[in-house]
Amino acid sequence: MSATGVPGRVAVLGLGLVGGSLARLLHARGVAVVGQDVDPGTVAAARAAGLRTTADVAEAVDGADLVVLAVPLRAMRATAAEVARHLGPDATLTDVGSVKGPVRQAVEAAGLGERYVGAHPMAGTERSGFAASSADLLDRAPWAVTVPSPRPAGHAADRLEGLLRLVTGPLAGTAAVLTDDVHDEAAALVSHVPHVLATQLLNAVAGAPVRDAALGLAAGSFRDGTRVAHTDPARTEAMVVENAAWVAPVLRKTVRDLEALVAALETNAPVHGFFHAADDVRAAGRPGQRAARTADVTVPLEAGWPERVVERCEAGSVVVALTDTEVLLTR
């Protein structure tokens, strides 16, 4: 750990779109980083891009202050078990996965639960692999950083602090500190179900008798509505299945709302409520903008501070910086 509290050496295990982007950004910001991947071609491409790389987990983890699991969800349990064999006594473990509950289960099964702080950068594209990665993808990105559900008092406060200093410092991002359950429920609403709906839009056109004519007419609304459906479908499937407990209820509500709309259209009943139910959200502006870094709330770095930060973040605040004595948040 550096004198600033930021991890001095970071190992990124998995150099796909997000892991590769994180390694590139850390390297660009002067943080010592080593990237690891099981694919020799990926290791070679990352090395050619100027990164220190290896195919060996033990070599990557050796001496690291922070180890980032950036492997696919299906490989998380095996990778965590391998990391447990080599992780230094003071090192912290985190990840970049879009689902937190199953990842925590994997690291707890490996005996690393007390070393783990969850993380999820809220940024991505429909592309995949190291070739699609870019330091720009995660520069100034919003992150979710997670603690167990329910919140235990003082859980890994020093490890949480170190990760927040990395996110808000070298990565120039912001962080919403949430419990795993709140993150996974929120991610279902704003990420996983949108992927499902985008996939269904693509499926509807793919199976339509006027498919070719429709695709010839497709413009902005179809392009924007189906962008994430061009993601590797296996990756989307894994994400949705791993978060099924939160995705399924949202999909059931969506189906009920659409069935009600269909019934209204078929009977010439009013549909105003459907199209105006989210007027207050619409009035607040487009979501997903990168947050301003001006702080207007502070939480002292004293006993119980993680719980107070979580309470603030669950009400919509985000962490923008840390001083020696305080966590700074937007309201």
CATH number of the domain to which 15 belongs: 3.40.50.720
Nearest to 196 by CA among 274, 249, 142: 249
In this structure, are 146 and 273 located in the same domain?
A: no
In this structure, are 114 and 201 located in the same domain?
A: no
CATH number where 271 lies: 1.10.3660.10
In this structure, are 294 and 266 located in the same domain?
A: no
Confidence of residue 6 (pLDDT cuts 50, 70, 90): confident
CA–CA distance, 232 with 72 (Å, rounded to integer): 12
Residues 214/216/217/221 CA torsion (nearest 10 deg): 80
Distances (CA, A) of 158 to 91, 154, 174: 11, 9, 18
End-to-end CA distance of the chain: 30
In this structure, are 214 and 109 located in the same domain?
A: no
With 0-12 CB in 10 A as exposed, 13-18 as middle and 19+ as buried, what is 114? exposed
Q: What would the pLDDT profile of 142-165 be if each residue is shown by its tens digit?
A: 999 999 987 655 568 999 999 999
pLDDT of residue 150: 76
Q: Which helix (H) or strand (E) holds 142?
A: strand 142-147
In this structure, are 133 and 41 located in the same domain?
A: yes
Domain count within the chain: 2
Q: Is the pLDDT of residue 289 over 60?
A: no
CA–CA distance, 124 with 34 (Å, rounded to integer): 21
pLDDT of residue 7: 87
pLDDT of residue 154: 57
Q: Is the pLDDT of residue 225 over 60?
A: yes
Decide if 4 is inside a domain.
no
pLDDT of residue 3: 52
Q: What would the pLDDT profile of 230-260 be if each residue is shown by its tens digit?
A: 999 998 999 999 999 999 999 999 999 999 9
Percent of all residues in the chain with a pLDDT value above 70, rounded to a whole number: 95
pLDDT of residue 84: 97
Distances (CA, A) of 261 to 39, 164, 174, 194, 199: 48, 44, 38, 19, 20
Confidence of residue 286 (pLDDT cuts 50, 70, 90): confident
Q: What 3-state DSSP class applies to 93? A: strand
Range of the domain at 199: 185-283
The alpha carbon of residue 16 and the mean position of all alpha carbons in its chain are separated, in whole angstroms, by: 14
In this structure, are 174 and 51 located in the same domain?
A: yes
**Amino acid occupying residue 9:** R
pLDDT of residue 125: 86
Contacts of 291 (CB under 8 A, 6+ apart): 142, 174, 318, 320, 330
In this structure, are 225 and 295 located in the same domain?
A: no
Q: Is the pLDDT of residue 12 over 60?
A: yes
**Amino acid occupying residue 4:** T
CA–CA distance, 320 with 47 (Å, rounded to integer): 32
In this structure, are 164 and 206 located in the same domain?
A: no
In this structure, are 110 and 198 located in the same domain?
A: no
Q: For the whole model, what pTM was predicted?
A: 0.92
Spell out a b/e string for 289-306, using b for 16 or more CB atoms within 10 Å of the CB, else e: eebeeebebebebeeebb
Q: Is the pLDDT of residue 270 over 70?
A: yes
Nearest to 72 by CA among 106, 41, 33, 43: 106
Decide if 3 is inside a domain.
no
